[in-house]
């Protein structure tokens, strides 16, 4: 399929918006519990890379270059572990914010889950010979991790009585389910590509706004907590 340069450039927006959103969420994690900062930034980096590679694939085709299919096919194999890492980091950070114990080895638990998914994808593709057998496995893990991340952020927003944030994060979940049938389609018309990218961009932009506001909200809470503890400290 031939892509216009405008469509190819438009495809960079969702990845950039999502990267910005996950940067804000990683900053939120850092403010809540520095133990999970690396986990959050590593996951966000993988998701950003996935989106940029997919957009680069379209841009190369649009300017008349070769179709490097690997750039497109790497999207969910990168996005799945990325969202998994971020989800575990946010889970740990939220437990800390709620004065609950969070294990130090979240990176190990997340890594085991990612390795299991990778082995299942390998078995389905290579051993069983299923065409694109890895795709449904990584798509499933990415979707579950993304939805879990949004559910946790919605729950934390409601706990803080920030129903505006809960609504914004809910939009992200709605977009995940709306885009799943499109993502599973092997071929789409140009019109459907524009529609998909518009939905994805809108959802990612909303996610970025919500991530920024949550980062600010958590930062205020942490600052207040530090001030309160300093006042309680003996002179």
Q: Kindly report, residue by residue over 90-143, the tens digit of the pLDDT.
A: 999 999 999 999 999 999 999 999 999 999 999 999 999 888 899 999 999 998
Q: Cα 53 to the chain's mean position, in Å? A: 15
pLDDT of 229: 45
Contact, 161 vs 199, CB < 8 A? no
Please state, as a whole number, how many other Cβ atoms lie within 10 Å of the Cβ of residue 233: 7
- 3-state class percentages of the chain: helix first, strand second, coil last, to nearest 5: 85, 0, 15
Q: Which domains, ranges and CATH numbers included, belong to the chain?
A: 5-232 (1.20.1070)
- 154 or 234, greater pLDDT: 154
Distance CA 220, CA 74 (A): 38
pLDDT at 193 over 70: yes
Distance CA 87, CA 186 (A): 28
Res. 233 pLDDT band, cuts 50 70 90: very low
Distance CA 199, CA 130 (A): 30
pLDDT of 190: 80
Res. 1 pLDDT band, cuts 50 70 90: low
Distances (CA, A) of 211 to 22, 99, 201, 214: 7, 21, 15, 5
pLDDT at 28 over 90: yes
pLDDT at 13 over 70: yes
């Amino acid at each position: 399929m031939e892509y216009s340069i405008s469509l190819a450039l438009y495809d960079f927006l969702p990845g950039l918006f999502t990267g910005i959103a996950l940067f804000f969420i990683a900053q939120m994690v850092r403010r809540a519990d520095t133990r999970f900062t690396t986990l959050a930034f590593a996951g966000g980096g993988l998701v950003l890379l996935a989106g940029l590679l997919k957009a680069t694939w379209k841009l190369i085709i649009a300017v008349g270059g070769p179709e490097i299919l690997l750039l497109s096919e790497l999207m969910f194999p990168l996005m799945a572990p990325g969202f998994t890492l971020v989800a575990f980091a946010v889970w740990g950070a939220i437990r800390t914010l709620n004065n609950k114990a969070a294990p130090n080895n979240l990176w190990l638990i997340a890594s085991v889950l990612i390795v299991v998914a990778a082995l299942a994808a390998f078995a389905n593709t290579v051993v069983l010979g299923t065409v694109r057998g890895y795709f449904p496995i990584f798509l499933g893990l990415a979707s579950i991790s993304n939805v879990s991340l949004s559910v946790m952020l919605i729950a934390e927003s409601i706990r803080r009585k920030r129903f505006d944030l809960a609504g914004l994060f809910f939009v992200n979940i709605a977009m995940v389910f709306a885009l799943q049938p499109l993502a599973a389609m092997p071929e789409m018309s140009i019109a459907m590509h524009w529609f998909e990218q518009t939905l994805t961009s809108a959802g990612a932009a909303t996610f970025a706004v919500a991530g920024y506001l949550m980062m600010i909200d958590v930062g205020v809470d942490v600052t207040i907590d530090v001030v309160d503890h300093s006042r309680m400290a003996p002179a």
